[in-house]
Chain A
Amino acid sequence: MDFDFTDEQVSLREAVARWVAKDHGFERRHGLAKAGGASRAVYGELAELGLCALAVPEAHGGMGFGAVEAMVVMEELGRGLVCAPYAQGALIAPALLGFAVDAAFADKASAWLSGVADGSQLLVLAHQERGARYALDRCTTTARWDSAAWRLTGHKSVVPAGDEADGFIVPAQVEGQLALFLVGRDAQGLAVRGYPTQDGARAADVVLSASPAALITRDGLSALALAQDIGIAALAAEAVGVMDRLVATTVDYLNTRKQFGVALSTFQSLRHRVADVKMQLELARSMSYYATLKLSEPAAQRRRALSQAKVQLNHSVRFVGQQCIQLHGGIGVTDEYSASHDFKRLTMIEMAWGDTPHHLGEVSARMLDTAGVFA
């Protein structure tokens, strides 16, 4: 039992924080969002810091670091409200490439991993389909073997940083089984339509028409479940950073802004709200640790734990986000002020990788007779 960070993890945290302080102020972030949300340049800066190599195995030019280091980075990116597909490109993609079993694909996977590690290649998971909502096994995209290559046909939506990516990891049906494929950005028959998202980032619809693809694994569902759980842990850490930042802004504001001749922070109704916000923040931080530390458990335990974490996270981000806007009053609902951007990111986090009814259902279906962290 030990929740202290190592000196190395603290250094990692400080390195990201220094970059945020120096190169990623709110004005730049605001400008990027207004300009349509392009974030590849920011992603490139994270790569220059060496962060894209974090989760890539050493054999492929990475650092082979673990989930706790990923959590530390995500928390700091959240604290800087950094808009970059870091979780997708640097955490989820290498984990999915790790599922590659097909010998024919091994060399390719290795090349992709090296590119992921140095940030030259941005590889994102394109799994969302209309009507699937948060179910990972609902997929209408199909793959068929065409004497020389696999060819994929289907329509994926809201693919993170889709129009900035160099390649896609795409789930598709093969003989009633969900498999994962890799499709290059330049693949024949592939059309990408990008658009900004509410939180100042970008996403895209990706339409595949008999597009050539490489098979990563036929056990796509296990791989997707892992991607989801890595994604939830990353979101939890990021959200903790965003909430830390938003609460700090709110506390400053309450201590500065005067009404009726006194600081807002003197009003008990507002003080109690802050206490409730602090509660939700600390519960989320606790569950962020839980999510990260449970990632290495066997799949069944991992799945239950990550759904539990997402239920708490979703409640926390909504409560903290809404209440911090309310505590600000009018300034909180303006575009020029950072709180509204924090709030929008927190709202997107709630809808990513499963909302509360979805994950509460997962927890409900997976409950044991016993309960608790070690159940």
Chain B
Amino acid sequence: MLKPGRCLLRALILTMDLNFTTEELAFRATIREWVARHLPQDISHKVLNALRLTREDHQRWAKILGAQGWLGWNWPKAFGGPGWNAIERHLFEEELALAGAPRVIPFGPVMVAPVIMAFGSAEQQRRFLPGIASGEVWWSQGYSEPGSGSDLASLKTRAERVGDHYIVNGQKTWTTLAQHGDWIFCLVRTSNEGKPQTGISFLLIDMKSPGVTVRPIVLLDGEPEVNEVWFDNVKVPAENLVGEENKGWTYAKYLLAHERTNIADVNRAKRELERVKRIAKAEGVWEDLRFRDQIALLEVDIVALEMMVLRVLSAEKSGRQSLDVAGLLKIRGSEIQQRYAELMMLAAGPFATPFISEAMEAGWQGEHVGAAHCAPLAGTYFNMRKTTIYGGSNEVQRNIVAQTVLG
């Protein structure tokens, strides 16, 4: 049944290939060269050494990307984006991560922009997208509430239509970096009829509006990374409603579906594994084979995760197969983030225990306990516990995965 002698024919058919194409490699080289020339070294120094980043650091880098037209790197050409395919976007993200660029604050370009493109009015697109693309406007995400974590649809923040405004009352929480925010996109309750999901709307709110109060929440690493945001009779123009009233849940789900492979954060994991190795060598545990084997195991985990990401990218590019593994990528990616932070801390051992907050500032002139690289390790480890909790906890992700397998 199988006929021999098809080698010539076979050579003409594209077959499975792990390698990037010449065009993809050239694309990567272009990005690499651009990043080398444009990423400020004082910023990458902070990122590569896990030192504290300021709002100004984030904004400066966002504006550099914005000026190049790459802050919306996942945007289609119709909205001024580069129109890259899945693999090009991946390569772009990888080059930025490996070079030590700060993580792009995703709420504007990655999260709210695609929703405005898909469901916003032409006027909203004209008004909001330029500020997102340029990096001028800092967006925050108003989803979670004190009573609504994993069960997001139970949210209670109310928006009541009064004339041509909404009056918003309620409280959001875990709002990442909202202390820097100019605008916030919120899921708000506009109806109590029917299922909880059907009474939710997607509202854009100027954070300078009277009645908005932001209070930082200090996390276990001592850093004010998230916030509580109160809305006390905040007047929001009705034109800031995205799409239709009570359809916000649909838009939020669209947003989640938009966030695919990036969720695994495998590029950053590769960079951080290199840091694990450097620290292990400097701290003398690299020669301890029982310790080194743990690094080797993490390396295997990262290769396997990267292969899973590449499978998804290939499927997206060709459109020939569909891979429903977003939940798996989130679970595995977050576990790996926790693991590299853990191994770095364990490599430093006793030298990870001092808590000198100023040592996390670039250019600190004080005396380090042990090597300077030890100072942020425990803090990063503590901070990373968030990764299996946010973005849909890993337990919620397991529900989603089980649903796809078991029905």
Q: Are B4 and A278 in contact (CB under 8 A)?
A: no
What distance in Å separates the Cβ of A140 from its nearest Cβ neighbour in chain B? 27
B335 (CB) vs chain A CBs: closest residue: A279
Report Cα–Cα, A305/B194, bound state, in Å: 54
Q: Tell me, in angstroms, the Cα distance from A50 to B4 when the chains sit together.
A: 9
B306 / chain A contacts, CB cutoff of 8 Å: 372-373
Given A1-B19, A64-B7, A68-B15, verify A276-B398 contact (CB < 8 Å).
yes
Q: In the bound complex, do residue B10 and residue A286 qualify as a contact, i.e. CB atoms below 8 Å apart?
A: no
With beta carbons under 8 angstroms apart, the residue of B17, B270, B274 that contacts A2 is: B17
Residue with the highest number of chain B CB atoms closer than 10 Å, among A3, A63, A279, A370: A3
Q: A58-B5, A278-B328, A364-B293 are in contact. Are A3 and B16 (CB under 8 A)?
A: yes
Contact B304 A62 (CB under 8 A): no
- Measured CB to CB, the closest approach of chain A to B314, in angstroms, equals 4
Docked-complex contact A255 and B18, CB < 8 angstroms: no
Q: When the two chains form their complex, are residues B320 and A4 in contact, meaning their CB atoms are under 8 A apart?
A: yes
Contact of B14 among A6, A50, A292 (CB under 8 A): A6
Residue ID in chain A nearest B318 by CB atoms: A4
Task: Name the residue of chain A whose CB is nearest to the CB of B298.
Answer: A371
Mask of A22-63 contacts with B, CB within 8 angstroms, 1/0: 000000000000000000000000000111011000100111
Contact check, B328 vs A282: say whether CB atoms are below 8 A apart.
yes
Question: CA of A319 to CA of B307 in the docked complex: distance in angstroms?
Answer: 20
Give the docked Cα–Cα distance between A363 and B297 (Å). Answer: 8
Chain A, Cβ-Cβ closest to B403: A271
Evaluate contact between A1 and B21: CB separation under 8 angstroms.
Answer: yes
* B7 contacts across to A, CB distance below 8 A: 58, 63-64
The B292-331 residues at the A interface (CB cut-off 8 A) are: 292-293, 295-297, 299-308, 310-311, 313-315, 317-318, 320-321, 325, 327-328, 331
Instruction: Tell whether B13 is near chain A: CB-to-CB under 8 Å.
Output: yes
CA distance A24 to B303 in the complex (A): 35
Chain B residue contacts of A305, Cβ below 8 A: 303
| A5 at the B interface (CB under 8 A) | yes
Q: Which of A3, A279, A369, A372 contacts B277 (CB 8 A)?
A: A369
Bound Cα distance from A293 to B306, whole angstroms: 14
Of A58, A66, A363, most B-chain CB atoms within 10 Å: A363
Tell me, rounded to whole Å, the shortest Cβ–Cβ distance linking B263 to chain A. 15
Interchain CB contact under 8 A, B311 and A367? no
Indicate which residue in B2, B273, B313, B327 contacts A51 across the interface (CB closer than 8 Å).
Answer: B2
Check A279–B401 contact: CB distance below 8 A: yes
Query: Beyond A361-B293, A363-B299, is A4–B395 a contact (Cβ under 8 Å)?
Result: no
Residues of A within 8 A of B302 (CB): 371-372
A283 close to B (CB within 8 Å) = yes
* A294 at the B interface (CB under 8 A): yes
Contact string, A297-309, partner B, CB cutoff 8 A, digits 1/0?
A: 0000000010010
Is B332 positioned at the interface, with any CB of A under 8 Å from its CB?
yes
Question: In the bound complex, how far is the Cα of B17 from the Cα of A117, in angstroms?
Answer: 26
Given contacts A63-B6, A275-B398, A311-B300, contact A367 B18 (CB under 8 A): no
Given contact pairs A282-B325, A372-B270, A308 touches B289 in the complex (Cβ within 8 A):
no
B311 near A3 with CB under 8 A, answer: yes
Separation in Å of the A328 CB from the closest CB of chain B?
14
Residues from chain A with a CB closer than 8 A to the CB of B311 are 3, 285-286, 289
Contacts of A275 in B (CB 8 A): 327, 331, 397-399, 401-402, 405
Whether B310 pairs with A61 at a CB distance below 8 angstroms is: no
Give the shortest distance, in Å, between B91 (CB) and chain A (any CB).
10
CB contact between B395 and one of A12, A54, A272, A308 (< 8 Å): that residue? A272
Q: Assess whether B273 is in contact with A371, with CB atoms less than 8 Å apart.
A: yes
Q: Are A272 and B328 in contact (CB under 8 A)?
A: no
Q: How many residues of B contact A (CB 8 A)?
A: 65
Q: Say how far A361's CB is from chain B's closest CB, in angstroms.
A: 7
What separation, in Å, do the CA atoms of A51 and B4 have in the docked complex? 11
Residue of A nearest to B18 (CB): A293
* Complex alpha-carbon distance, A23 and B385, angstroms: 52
Contact assessment for A287 and B307 in the assembled complex, using a CB-CB cutoff below 8 Å:
yes
The answer to whether B296 touches A274, judged by C-beta atoms less than 8 angstroms apart, is no
Establish whether residues A61 and B325, one from each chain, have CB atoms under 8 Å apart when the complex forms: no
B87 part of interface (Cβ distance < 8 Å): yes
Residues of A within 8 A of B277 (CB): 367, 369, 371
Q: A2, B16: Cβ atoms under 8 Å?
A: yes
Known: A278-B401, A308-B300. A1 touches B4 (CB 8 A): no
Q: Are A255 and B299 in contact (CB-based, < 8 A)?
A: no
Q: Check A286 against B307 for contact (C-beta < 8 Å).
A: yes
B296 with A367: CB separation less than 8 A: yes
Closest CB of chain B to A170's CB: distance in Å? 29
- Asked if residues B17 and A1 are in contact (CB atoms below 8 Å), the reply is yes
B406 in contact (CB, < 8 A): yes
A287 contacts B303, C-beta separation under 8 Å: yes
- Contact of A373 with B307 in the complex, beta carbons under 8 Å: yes
Contacts of A308 in B (CB 8 A): 299-300, 303-304
- Nearest chain B CB to A87 CB, angstrom units: 18
- A265 within 8 Å of B by Cβ? yes
Please tell me if the beta carbons of A371 and B303 are within 8 angstroms of each other in the complex. yes
**B407 at interface (Cβ–Cβ under 8 A)?**
yes
Q: Using Cβ atoms and an 8 Å threshold, which residues of chain A touch B296?
A: 311, 360, 363-364, 367
The answer to whether residues A289 and B307 also contact, given A1-B313, A63-B4, A272-B398 and a CB cut-off of 8 A, is yes
A-B contact pairs, 23 of them (CB 8 A): A1-B18, A1-B21, A3-B315, A4-B320, A5-B16, A9-B15, A51-B2, A53-B2, A58-B4, A63-B2, A63-B6, A271-B402, A271-B406, A274-B401, A275-B402, A282-B308, A283-B304, A283-B305, A285-B311, A289-B16, A290-B307, A364-B293, A371-B273
Q: Which residues of A are at the interface with B, using a C-beta cutoff of 8 A?
A: 1-9, 12, 15, 49-51, 53-54, 58, 61-66, 68, 247, 251, 254-255, 265, 268, 271-272, 274-276, 278-279, 282-283, 285-287, 289-290, 292-294, 305, 308, 311-312, 360-361, 363-364, 367, 369-373
Known: A272-B398, A292-B16. 16 other contacts (CB 8 A): A2-B16, A8-B10, A49-B2, A58-B5, A265-B406, A272-B395, A275-B331, A278-B328, A286-B308, A290-B303, A312-B301, A312-B303, A360-B300, A364-B292, A371-B277, A371-B302
